[in-house]
Amino acid sequence: MSSIGVATSIRENVLSRLFGCNGVSESADKDNRISDLIQYVRHNDVDAISYLQERILPKIVNNNRLKWTETWLGQHQWSNNNGESANHLLKRLFI
């Protein structure tokens, strides 16, 4: 998003809505979190909606599905490989 000229505060807010303590990746109520994220991105006229919907959000949902259904797992399900994959996608989005 930095390559398309999105302000730093908006980029940080998007990251927070994705990975913050109340973000998509940490919430069992993912549908509302995703809706809030998409609404925020559209409201701020960020030209990354399709990238988020096609690349970032499916990856987060797939990686966290087990954690959301089996809440006792918590952080045990997240692996380094998942983190590296998400990191690669975010670098493509924000750099």
pLDDT at 78: 57
Give the Cα separation of 81 and 53 in Å (integer): 21
Give the Cα separation of 9 and 22 in Å (integer): 17
Structure tokens that stand for 34 in this block: 């995703």
Give the Cα separation of 46 and 13 in Å (integer): 12
pLDDT at 71: 61
**How large is the average pLDDT for residues 16-24?**
83
Give the Cα separation of 9 and 71 in Å (integer): 32
**How large is the average pLDDT for residues 61-90?**
69
85 φ/ψ sector (left φ>0, alpha ψ -120 to 50, else beta):
alpha
Number of domains in the chain: 1
Identify the domain containing residue 46 by its residue range.
Answer: 2-94
pLDDT at 10 over 80: yes
- 62-76 residue pLDDT tens: 877 766 676 666 555
pLDDT at 24: 82
- 31-47 residue pLDDT tens: 788 888 889 888 887 78
pLDDT at 13 over 80: yes
